[in-house]
Amino acid sequence: MEPIRKFNRFELKYLLTMEQTREFKQQLEAYMFPDQYAWNSGDYVISSLYYDSPDLQCYWEKIDGLKFRKKLRVRIYETEESITEDSIVFVEIKQRYDKTIQKRRIAIPYRDAMALCDEHRLPDEYDERDRPVMEEVLGMIEERNLQPTLITSYFRHAYTGTEFDNGLRVTFDSNIRYRVNDLDLASKQLGRYIVSPDRVILEIKVNERVPYWLTELIAQNNYRLIRISKYCTGLDVASEFPQRIEVY
């Protein structure tokens, strides 16, 4: 599958109970398709290695609410097979400009991602179309002195929009954990919970606008928007000072 190298979108987040999650999934099935890349259970596991500066510049940009901010991560969509140097991962620059999320990413083997992000060099072989993103990654690492900081992992249950709602994705993230030690994506070490294990983060992702039927469902269920970053909240929990989740 040809990787998408860049895209813009909007994201809305909500914090649900397990019962709310079960009910909302049933409601969505009338409007959306299950993610075709999910496991037989309907879920899959995402693990992400985040980079930050020694003074946590990316963290503080989020906490301070800067309208323009960006961060670097290496993400893998896990399978039942063990992660190896040949496993394909995504190196992503996730950038926010006001309310718009912008992503630039490349799909490369894990060994090449580590050569790029940890050894600060281009891989020996790569798709020339990936070079602009690789050079941006290297520039960001040099400018901010980025280093591996935290890994998050969680189960995701996702739905995609029909042809009438192109670009729409709704995801449910559960069993959300972090670790600040053993920062190797291939490790199976379980970290601590970022949010309570009986809570699920619902995310609505759209290219332009939320469909009317979905805004009606959100209103009927009385869900309230929250502002939460898995990366920032993981660092807060690691420091024993849980970040306050902002509810709208």
The pTM is what? 0.91
pLDDT tens per residue across span 175-220: 999 999 999 999 988 899 999 999 999 999 998 889 999 999 999 9
16/157 Cα distance (integer angstroms): 14
- The predicted model gives 97-126 an average pLDDT of 93
Q: Which residue has the tokens 């670009």?
A: 167
- The predicted model gives 113-129 an average pLDDT of 95
245 pLDDT more than 90 = no
For residue 1, the model assigns a pLDDT of 46
10 and 100 in contact (C-beta within 8 Å)? yes
In the chain, the domains with their CATH numbers are 6-247 (3.20.100.30)
For residue 247, the model assigns a pLDDT of 58
103 pLDDT more than 80 = yes
Backbone angles phi, psi at 31, to 5 degrees: -120, -20
For residue 176, the model assigns a pLDDT of 97
248 pLDDT more than 80 = no
pLDDT tens per residue across span 124-177: 999 999 999 999 999 999 999 999 999 999 999 999 999 899 889 999 999 999
CB count in 10 Å sphere of residue 89: 25
For residue 110, the model assigns a pLDDT of 97
How confident is residue 74, by pLDDT bands cut at 50, 70 and 90? Answer: very high
131/160 Cα distance (integer angstroms): 30
Q: Checking DSSP bridges between strand 226-227 and strand 192-193, what pairing results, if any?
A: unpaired
User: What is the pLDDT of the chain when averaged over all its residues?
Assistant: 91
For residue 98, the model assigns a pLDDT of 80
pLDDT tens per residue across span 35-47: 988 887 889 999 9
For residue 162, the model assigns a pLDDT of 92
Q: At 159, which amino acid appears?
A: Y
- The predicted model gives 106-117 an average pLDDT of 97
For residue 239, the model assigns a pLDDT of 85
- The predicted model gives 233-239 an average pLDDT of 92
> Where are the extended beta strands (E) located within the chain?
6-17, 33-34, 43-52, 68-78, 88-97, 100-109, 147-160, 169-179, 192-193, 199-206, 226-227, 246-247
DSSP 35: P
